[in-house]
Structure 1
Amino acid sequence: MAALCMAFIIGAIVIDRDSGACPPSNWHNHIALTLAGNQARVDEAAAITACTGARCIPPAPTFAKNASAGNGLLSRQEDGSWLFTVGSVPPSSVTFRTFDVAGNMLSQQSNVLNWTRVGGTEQCGGPMGTMRVVVRVP
């Protein structure tokens, strides 16, 4: 009898877990990036890279010489801030580097990100609130 009860409980758990199939992720998470510090150097910032581990967007800093508004994933906003669009599984840390128009690095800063989910469910995930990061430019 005990074996029958255990089989029923295990079956119920498996059915319950499988019955709530998660829909595909159709959202993006964002990091709103503001530069602060030496205002003259902040004004010189023409481009930014965002790196998680060894992967960077854009992949090489040489783009800074030709940068205008960014590449779609990391773009400059009208108010002078930057918006970094990440996938549905956001990174736990990001290193930002700022560059002037000649491609010279102005600053580098690593940030640990503690995201807060604002939608979806614990089981299936969901969109996170926009992460706000201030990058210091000496």
Structure 2
Amino acid sequence: MAWAASSYRLLRSAGMRIIRPAALIAALLVSMTVTGCSASDVCTAVGWNNVVSIDIDGTAGDVAAIELCEDSVCAVVAPVQQAVEAPTVVATLMPEDLATLAPTSAATDLPFFVAHVDERTWYVSTDMTTPDALTVRALSPAGDVLVAEEVALDWRRVGGSAQCGGPSEAGPITLDIP
């Protein structure tokens, strides 16, 4: 009888070793189902850029820059800095210099980056925003506005998912330069 009791205890402890992990896995699956969490609901994209394509018709050679304006505030293509042979001199300000330092006006920070792709094509990259409408302006080398046009943007998602979002494209917008 002692043999039967020890065999029962041995079988019971072996069974518990199998049952405990299985019960833990089952509880995990039930809790994931009940709370609505699953591996397929994870959003991996944490940031992206959206792109607007702008095509130039007419005398494209007259266009030196493209400006995008939202609520009367414009962002322009950043000037390309040329490499220089001479070293750049950097001044270090001392604390007493900071007391007399007057602030200078700075460019307005807008979430647009303008890139000149070729003679007739420009890309405008935005952060994760998708504005409904913008004003697009083409500028001459002298800074004169050649054409300004209010455009409605029709965004199409080209990556990610409906649930998590993702990069989008709009355009192409065509500007006719006289």
User: If the TM-score is normalised by the length of the shorter chain, which range does it land in?
Assistant: 0.5 to 0.7
Q: Deviations over 1:48-80 (max 9, x none)?
A: 110122332129xxx8xxx569xx810211343
Q: How far apart, in 2, do the equivalents of 1:109 and 1:84 lie?
A: 15
1:43 correspondence with 2:43: no
In 2, Cα distance between equivalents of 1:27 and 1:120: 10
1:7-22 aligned within 5 A: 15-16=35-36, 20=41, 22=43
Distance 1:68 1:47 in 2: 12
**Could you tell me whether the CA contact under 8 Å between 1:97 and 1:108 is conserved in 2?**
yes
SS in 1 for 2:158: coil
Query: Which residue of 8, 12, 29 maps to 2:50?
Result: 29
SS at match of 2:164: coil
C-alpha root-mean-square deviation of aligned residues, in Å? Answer: 3.0
The answer as to whether partners of 1:118 and 1:129 remain within 8 angstroms in 2 is: yes
Mapped to 2, the partners of 1:101 and 1:68 lie a distance apart of 14
- For 1:38-117, what aligned pairs fall within 5 Å after superposition? 39=59, 42-58=60-76, 67=79, 73-117=113-157
Q: CA deviation at 1:133?
A: 0.9
**Counterpart-to-counterpart distance in 2, 1:45 and 1:83:** 14
Question: Do 2:154 and 2:170's aligned partners in 1 also have CA atoms closer than 8 Å?
Answer: no
Contact kept, 8 Å, 1:118 with 1:126, in 2: the verdict is yes
Specify every segment of 5 or more residues in structure 1 that has no aligned partner in the other structure, as ranges: 1-11
Structure 2: distance between partners of 1:131 and 1:117: 12
2:162 maps to: 122
Measure, in 2, the Cα distance between the counterparts of 1:135 and 1:120.
Answer: 30
Identity across the alignment (%): 25
SS of structure 1 residue aligned to 2:149: strand
Q: CA deviation at 1:25?
A: 3.0
2:140 corresponds to which letter in structure 1? D
1:135 offset after TM fit, Å? 1.1
Give how far 1:22 is off: 3.7
**Matches of 1:25 and 1:132 in 2, distance apart?**
26
Count of residue pairs brought into register by the alignment:
115
Consecutive aligned runs of 4 or more in structure 1 exceeding 6 Å deviation:
none
Mark the CA change 1:31 to 1:56 in structure 2 (over 3 Å): closer, same or farther. Answer: same
